[in-house]
Structure 1
């Protein structure tokens, strides 16, 4: 049976983190729980668990719990950004300028 004082402290810690998030937003190096990540990126928890299982999302596992660093989640999201047509054309133009035909 778990120590009731540890449960109370854990719940207070979660409440404090949520209040801090509401007041300041997540900091870049803050560790987030799966619930916080789900809310942050608007995914279902089950989808995040699937991404973790396939190792497609950066995570930290400690004490049997999953944690996510906000900066790593932001980078992960940025890597999935779909480029616009103008961005692709700009990249093609830059490539052609750097690598002219012989």
Structure 2
């Protein structure tokens, strides 16, 4: 009888070891892909007013989808939209302005 218990315990130990070695970490819960205007408002930095968001949609400056009378926003597209227009520092703006002026000078020289 003790040998049967020992064999049973060994079997349980082997099964536990297999379960532990096969178990993968639980994947993170994906963020909700679609947002309504309230969820978008909470998601955006500064939490803009609903009227501001409606203004963006009417000017088509923010990516959105409309089904019947409801507006939806795709989280991935909103994240890309937020990253799309970074604020440039003064040095970057100055370098861009100098490059523009130089390019215009060269165009004038070629046309003259």
* TM-score normalised by the chain length of structure 2: 0.51
**Considering only aligned residues, what root-mean-square deviation do their CA atoms show, in Å?**
2.9
Structure 1's unaligned 5+ residue stretches are 1-23, 96-102
Match of 2:64 among 59, 62, 66: 59
* TM-score normalised by the chain length of structure 1: 0.55
* Correspondence list, 1:71-86, <5 A: 71-84=76-89
Partners of 2:40 and 2:72 lie apart in 1 by 9
Partners of 1:85 and 1:26 lie apart in 2 by 36
Q: CA deviation at 1:25?
A: 7.2
Higher relative contact order (CA 8 A, sep 6+): 1
Structure 2's unaligned 5+ residue stretches are 1-28, 100-112
Aligned to 1:26: 31
* Correspondence list, 1:1-102, <5 A: 26-27=31-32, 30-41=33-44, 42-84=47-89, 88=92
Q: CA deviation at 1:84?
A: 3.5
Q: Could you list the per-position Cα deviations for residues 18-65 of structure 1 after superposition, in whole angstroms to 9, with x for gaps in the alignment?
A: xxxxxx5734xx010000001110211110000000111000001210
Partners of 1:38 and 1:50 lie apart in 2 by 13
